[in-house]
Amino acid sequence: MGTGSARGRKKDWQLTQAAFDMLLAQLDSDREAAGKKYEELRRKLVKFFGFWGSRYPEDLADKAITTAARKIFEGETIENLNGYMLGTARLIYKETVRDEVSARDAMSRKPPEATANQAKEEQRRNCYQRCLHRLPADDQNLIVRYYRGSEAPDRDKLAAQMGISLNLLRVSAFRIRKKLGDCLQHCLQQPLEL
């Protein structure tokens, strides 16, 4: 099996009763004494993670214990279990901080191309508004009503309301759209301000 699948198994590994019993046996051969040592060890780990400002010190302590239990269950000999746990706790803490920093950075930082695309879209909207407002009021009104949103406008009705033929309405809309397009093209050629 490849390293990736071994890592996946380790990450998904769950503490079993058998593994926990082996961990307790490593702490002390007397079950009751082992339970007390386990509680003391867990308390120290919680205190360690709490001292360093971890948001979930109990969860991280359990993760360190589970890691040690897995190693023992897999047959690894651990001479100094307390020292091993402390080393494991340090590694888990560093990993947690690294993951939190990465997550925070990912949230605060947008990919450069997304930022550039957003800036281009914003520039396009600004240019469109600027160009539309440069048109005479009658032309603004006609072009907005001619292309009214997503619903198909009744252009026959619009021509009748304006007192012009449908063909004249189309020609007028074409000329206004051309002016608007030229203005928009010129505006978009200006340097993009990020």
Q: What is the percentage of the chain residues whose pLDDT exceeds 90?
A: 32
Lowest mean pLDDT among 53-62, 143-152, 173-182: 143-152
Beta carbons within 8 Å of 24's beta carbon, 6+ residues apart: 31, 34, 35, 38
Structure confidence at residue 144 as a pLDDT band (50, 70, 90): confident
Residue 8 has pLDDT above 50, yes or no: no
Residue 109 is inside which H or E element, if any?
none
Predicted pLDDT at 87: 92
- Which residue from 14, 5, 72, 74 is spatially nearest to 38, judged by alpha carbons? 72
pLDDT tens string 88-125? 999 998 998 888 888 777 766 656 666 677 888 888 88
Structural domain spans, the chain = 3-108, 112-188
Out of 1.10.10, 1.10.260, 1.10.1200, 2.30.38, the CATH code matching 112-188 is 1.10.10
Predicted pLDDT at 166: 85
Show the tokens assigned to 77: 């000999």
The neighbour count for residue 88, using CB atoms within 10 Å, is 19
Predicted pLDDT at 29: 92
Residue 1 has pLDDT above 50, yes or no: no
Identify which has the larger pLDDT, 70 or 1: 70
The identity of residue 68, as a single letter, is A
Show the tokens assigned to 43: 């308390």
Q: What is the mean pLDDT of residues 132-144?
A: 88
Q: What is the mean pLDDT of the chain?
A: 83
Predicted pLDDT at 38: 92
Cα maximum dimension of the chain:
102
Residue 11 has pLDDT above 70, yes or no: no
Cβ atoms of 174 and 113 within 8 Å: the answer is: no
Report helix, strand or coil for 111. Answer: coil
Predicted pLDDT at 36: 93
